[in-house]
Amino acid sequence: MTSVSTAPSALTRASETDHPSMPFVSQVVMMTRRSLMTSFRDPVAILPGFFINMFFLFIYTGSLGTASNFLPGLAGQSYLGFILPFSVISASLGTSGIAGQSIVRDIERGYFDKLLLTPINRWALLLGPMISASFILVLQTLLVVGVAVLMGLRPETGIPGVAALLVLSLLTGIAFAGFTVAIALRTGSAAATQGAGFLFFPLSFLTATFVPLSLLSGWIRTAAEINPITYIIDAGRAVLNTGWDNDIMIRALIACFVLGGITFTFALTSLRARARRK
Amino acid sequence: MSQSREIIAHDLVKRYGDFAAVDNISFKVNAGEVYGFLGPNGAGKSTTVTMLTTLSLPTSGTATVGGFDITRQANDVRRISGVTLQDVGLDPLMTSLELLTIQSRLFGMNSKQAKDRAMELLAIVKLNEPGVIKRPVGKYSGGMRRRLDLAMGLAHEPEILFLDEPTTGLDPASRRDIWAEVRRLNRELGMTIFLTTQYLEEADELADRIAIMVKGKIAIEGQPEALKSSLGSESINVTFKDADSAASAKDELAEMFDRVQLDRRMVRLYKNGAAQVVPAVVNRLNERALVPTSLTLTTPTLDDVFLQVTGQTINNDTEEDEPAA
């Protein structure tokens, strides 16, 4: 056997930090494009979200469409415009799972380990699938708004309002995707990741889902007031039904960033746990 | 050849609870050398590779890859190493060109350089036909995926390449393609190659030096020719229809040879100038009514070295080379 005369630690070379590496933003863009590309190559994961989204919109509008005639606070408003932001939130819960599933697929196929052996920035590894899932959500939102317009919706704030709704759906999508990515990294399991999206469903109902916040009372009103989703839905309703309100919009943006901050931190700690060498 | 292309392990240990998957091994791979790491399943070969490639930490001991410490300088180790793990790691929904372009870009190439490098690598591993480039990797055969995985490990022109059982499950033609490429990388680019394999023929074909690992320990290390010569002699291999006959033959013939080994239905008889005693062996077997099914005369092979070291032959379960579902 070859004898090793010197302990390796005595021979180590100085780290070389000046080697070129891909800029962070370019890494995020590349990983987002990759996730989008693979998502559209496997559309089975995208289509159900869109159809469920449309289904909810038709059902709620069909069964509660005349509620604005008798519910205080909704007089003169479109119930379609009132319920559509909730439909977007429901869609974001389903679509966020795409990000987690994409991570699970990489883990199962061994590609995730291959990426970990490259100098990729860990944030880019997370943000790629998260942003990609939120882009898909924006696309779904655009289609749902288009269908709602055909059903008679006339957004109060016009095209800028719809654009604001799309920005909110983008941010909400990123926030929810962070959670499914975290679960994917923690478990490496497709089933657990799929289930993770549903954990947020109760949260989406603990809001002023079907009636205005002013009509809620007791514990459910308290829960709705604490729930960040309430503020995102409020902003969507404002741009579609009542017009611009800067305070509501700022509250919605803060809610998105708080939710996103929490889920992204969870995803990042989960990635560190997975990438930690044992 | 730069010393920075060496791999040095010193008292390396990897434990899982009470089980030592790698048990205090030390070795040195010289710059520009192909080092074969042989052993049966579960010997600890892949565990050693995961430590050297920074995917897992040693329980104790140290190692440097290209002069960088695997524990403290993991990023530097990754930058100078290419890795092809035992399980192919590819996204089946992407094409080979897309995967190689992303891999090259992550190592700092711009878009054009990355695409050029990807095409160059596809040509090297013979996956550059237009129909193949555009096909999702999920529709590749096992051999094509292995070749692409090798190309992924080469994207950033590494100084040191780790190949963990690169030909397991491949058909003979694909295996020979990989061998040719490994030889080219080593000879033309001076790449240091750490190769784990279950195939003795592969190690014999490619490796400048080999180590045989058994139950987490290195049992023997050296140049293949030297190891074979250390057995010293030609052997007569006599096979019988059953193990009992082989055992009886072993007892009958032992006194005529320097060394005798029984391996199920085969008896291996070692002696310098073994050819000259073949008639005597046949006569002795006839006298004892032991009828062989075959009798061959061979010079020592790595199989003999492996058998001598481990007391068993190596088992290769060859898988089919089928396209993925």
Tell me if A4 and B107 make a contact (CB, 8 A cut-off): no
Q: Is A44 on the interface with B (CB under 8 A)?
A: no
Q: How confident is the model at residue A126 (pLDDT cuts 50, 70, 90)?
A: very high
Helix locations, B169-301, DSSP H: 172-189, 200-206, 224-230, 243-253, 278-287
Tokens matching residue A127: 């943000």
What's the start-to-end Cα distance of chain A, in Å? Answer: 29
**SS3 call for B90:** coil
pLDDT of residue B249: 94
What residue ranges do the domains of chain A occupy? Answer: 2-14+21-277
Those of residues 289-318 in B touching chain A at CB distance below 8 A are none
Is the pLDDT score of B32 beyond 90? yes
Residue with tokens 């060859």: B318
**Residues B59, A278: contact at Cβ < 8 Å?**
no
Q: Which residue of B has its CA nearest to A27?
A: B106
- String of b and e for B227-252 (b: at least 16 CB within 10 Å)? bbeebebbbbbbbbeeeebbebbbeb
Kindly state the percentage of chain B with pLDDT values over 70: 94
Helix locations, B64-171, DSSP H: 74-80, 96-106, 111-124, 130-133, 142-154
Question: How far from chain centre, in Å, is Cα A66?
Answer: 31
Residue type, A15: S
Tokens matching residue A35: 């996730």
Q: Which of A41, A109, A118 sits opposite B90 (nearest CB)?
A: A109
Q: Which of B26, B67, B102 sits opposite A4 (nearest CB)?
A: B26
Residue with tokens 């279950």: B198
pLDDT of residue B66: 94
**Residues B148, B101: contact at Cβ < 8 Å?**
no
Tell me if A1 and B103 make a contact (CB, 8 A cut-off): no
Please state, in angstroms and rounded to a whole number, the distance separating the CA atoms of residues B302 and B222. Answer: 11
Residue with tokens 């969507």: A236
Is the pLDDT score of A5 beyond 50? no
* Cβ contacts of A26 on chain B, cutoff 8 Å: 105
Q: Which of B53, B98, B221 sits opposite A1 (nearest CB)?
A: B221
Q: Residues near A177 by Cβ (< 8 Å), separated by ≥ 6?
A: A95, A96, A98, A99, A100, A129, A130, A133, A134, A263
Q: How many residues does chain A have?
A: 278
pLDDT of residue A8: 44
Residue with tokens 């096979």: B239
Q: Is A76 on the interface with B (CB under 8 A)?
A: no
Please state, in angstroms and rounded to a whole number, the distance separating the CA atoms of residues B45 and B219. Answer: 13
- String of b and e for A74-110 (b: at least 16 CB within 10 Å)? beebbbbbbbbbbbbbbbbbbbbbbbbbbbbbbbebb
Instruction: Tell me which of A177-186, B2-11, B19-28, B316-325 is least confident.
Output: B316-325
Residue with tokens 């992204």: A264
Question: pLDDT tens-digit profile of A230-240?
Answer: 899 989 989 98
Question: pLDDT tens-digit profile of B300-317?
Answer: 778 778 877 777 776 554
Please state, in angstroms and rounded to a whole number, the distance separating the CA atoms of residues A120 and A126. Answer: 11
* Cβ contacts of B95 on chain A, cutoff 8 Å: none
Q: Is A119 on the interface with B (CB under 8 A)?
A: yes
Q: Is B115 on the interface with A (CB under 8 A)?
A: no
List the one residue out of A144, A160, A139 whose CA is nearest residue A81.
A144
Averaged pLDDT for residues A34-46? 87
pLDDT of residue B322: 40
Q: How confident is the model at residue B321 (pLDDT cuts 50, 70, 90)?
A: very low
Question: pLDDT tens-digit profile of B166-178?
Answer: 888 778 887 888 8
Please state, in angstroms and rounded to a whole number, the distance separating the CA atoms of residues B273 and B64. Answer: 45
Q: How confident is the model at residue A55 (pLDDT cuts 50, 70, 90)?
A: confident
Is the pLDDT score of B204 beyond 80? yes
| ipTM exceeds 0.90 | no
Strand order in the sheet with B217-222: B81-84, B160-164, B192-197, B34-38, B209-214, B217-222
Q: Which of B63, B98, B152 sits opposite A8 (nearest CB)?
A: B63
Tell me if A13 and B102 make a contact (CB, 8 A cut-off): no
Tell me if B79 and A19 make a contact (CB, 8 A cut-off): yes
Query: How does the average pLDDT of chain B come out, rounded?
Result: 88
pLDDT of residue B314: 65
Please state, in angstroms and rounded to a whole number, the distance separating the CA atoms of residues B253 and B286. Answer: 12
Tokens matching residue B325: 């579902």
pLDDT of residue B319: 40
Query: How does the average pLDDT of chain A come out, rounded?
Result: 84
Give the helix/strand (H/E) hosting B214. Answer: strand B209-214
Question: pLDDT tens-digit profile of B260-298?
Answer: 888 889 998 888 778 888 999 999 999 999 999 999 988
pLDDT of residue A15: 66
Please state, in angstroms and rounded to a whole number, the distance separating the CA atoms of residues B16 and B44. Answer: 12
Please state, in angstroms and rounded to a whole number, the distance separating the CA atoms of residues B242 and B125. Answer: 45
Q: How confident is the model at residue B227 (pLDDT cuts 50, 70, 90)?
A: confident
Tokens matching residue A72: 């205080």
Is the pLDDT score of B131 beyond 90? no
Give phi and psi for B211, each to the nearest 5: -125, 135
Is the pLDDT score of B95 beyond 70? yes
**Regarding predicted confidence, which is higher, B88 or A74?**
B88
Q: How confident is the model at residue A9 (pLDDT cuts 50, 70, 90)?
A: very low
